[in-house]
Amino acid sequence: MSEVAEKFGIKQALKDLGLQETNNGTSTGKDFFSSGEVIESYSPVDGALIGKVKATTKEDYEKVITTAEAGFKEWRTWPAPLRGEVVRQFNDELRRLKEPLGKLVSYEMGKSYQEGLGEVQEMIDICDFAVGLSRQLHGLTMHSERPGHRMYEQYHPLGVVGIISAFNFPVAVWSWNTALAWVCGDACVWKGSEKTPLTSVACQNIAARVFAENDVPAGISSLITGDYKVGEMMTNDKRVPLISATGSIRMGKIVAQAVAARLGKSLLELGGNNAIIVTPDADIKNTVIGAVFGAVGTCGQRCTSTRRVIIHESIYDKVKDAIVKAYKQLRIGNPLDENNHVGPLIDKDAVKNYQSALDKVVEEGGKILVEGGVLEGKGYESGCYVKPAIAEAKNDFKIVQHETFAPVLYIMKYSGDVSNALELQNGVVQGLSSAIMTNNLREAERFLSVEGSDCGIANVNIGTSGAEIGGAFGGEKETGGGRESGSDAWKIYMRRQTNTINYTTELPLAQGIKFDL
């Protein structure tokens, strides 16, 4: 156990989460997939080995899916409110273990401890939502054109749901899917990120205890582990009718094609290139807060991170200078230390992408306003700590069009009215999150209108980063078009059925067709 881990209570957190310390790091206490290759999890906080898990083999995968299929056939017959009661108990465990799980998220992924706690809170919130939803999985009734007939729609459980999640939200995105899928009556097979395997095992441990206490059939919550090859097992498997995948656009296109080839369903949450429009009527203080947190929170590794700030030319220098000044106050360091604002990137490959982006923006004619760079020395031994950077750039730069998963913020100006700013904002292939800072009602309504933001999320006077679970989360264009979390996102985890009942002694046909025998 490293010095940092000892100081900040990681050993106790692992114990609380059912992860047993060994001489070689941490294991689950038993080999879930004993024949697979070893995956080592190193913390980007201090570079220390946290633990090891074993990757899923084809044989292991087959056992998981077979068990999930069998479990689903029983689970789907449980009344939805009873399934909701199991989710409520799972939620109680999350509340009890919020601190150790949040701490593990922070240490294994690198986001600040407060953000780690916030991620677990998202799990708690979606479980609350799902419990209420378990009594509201409603359909519609409608009038038939035929006398003595009744028509209605209902929703049935879909089957085995495959979930592929990313490292940046190693537990929350899984819960967005699985809490809803569970109350809908589905079994869930989760491929967590191979970069954060221990948080996945911890969640599975929590679910396993609750499920055992309630005699939930085996396979309703399963975990598979490994690289993209393990994910391919699910995406190509006809026994998995829905694949919910979170990750890069490149990954999403591969998943979409594989699932579509077998006429399956996919729910894709892919990249974002999110912008804040700042109009002359903006509140500058709130603009700076929204832009800075949006750009540097989770070290720029959110799909909703602010990548671009589009400022009206009349206030450009004022806003630019305020944001640059705010960056000077940022404290970069151990994310478990709540005095720090920014933790590390996930690994050294992410650092390389960060450095490459800064080189490219200069090559294309951009100007660096806040210098970047990799931090070295005591406290930065992992090599994953970087300085959040700002560059003046143009929207049509190739690097600006690309989503760099790092704290690199591009600032640009617009002239004229807000329609010109919207053209810049919408002028990227991604369409996840967007925001406008203005106290002008007409500008705000234009931004939210059919001619405004083309993103799945459009905010007024708040930043692009983050979302409440009550609303459906997702984006348009190459962001994927899927919706998770709140609103009616539950419907994708179910199959829709239209029913017609004839309660007469006759059999009239639709559209007045006659067919007499």
Active site residues: 269, 303
Cα–Cα distance between 393 and 399 in angstroms, integer? 9
Structure tokens at 151: 């028509």
Query: Measured between alpha carbons, how far is residue 63 from residues 33, 70, 178, 225 in Å?
Result: 10, 11, 20, 14
Structure tokens at 235: 């995406």
Cα–Cα distance between 190 and 179 in angstroms, integer? 12
Instruction: For residue 248, give the DSSP letter.
Output: -
Query: What strand order describes the sheet that includes 408-414?
Result: 367-370, 389-392, 408-414, 306-312, 274-278, 433-437, 457-460
**Beta partners for residue 248, in sequence order:** none
Spatial neighbors of 84 by CB under 8 A, at least 6 apart, are 130, 131, 132, 133, 134, 135, 183
- The helix (run of H) or strand (run of E) holding residue 308 is strand 306-312
Cα–Cα distance between 117 and 107 in angstroms, integer? 12
Query: Measured between alpha carbons, how far is residue 362 from residues 333, 357, 366, 386, 410 in Å?
Result: 27, 9, 5, 18, 12
Cα–Cα distance between 47 and 45 in angstroms, integer? 6
Report DSSP letters for 454-512, one per residue.
Answer: -SSEEEESS-SS---TTSEE--EETT----EESTTGGGGGEEEEEEEEE-SSS-PPGGG
**392 in Cβ contact with 361 (< 8 Å):** no
Cα–Cα distance between 474 and 252 in angstroms, integer? 13
E runs forming strands in 87-241: 141-143, 149-157, 160-164, 187-191, 221-224
Phi/psi zone of residue 480: left (φ > 0), alpha (ψ -120 to 50 degrees), beta? Answer: left
Structure tokens at 425: 């904002």
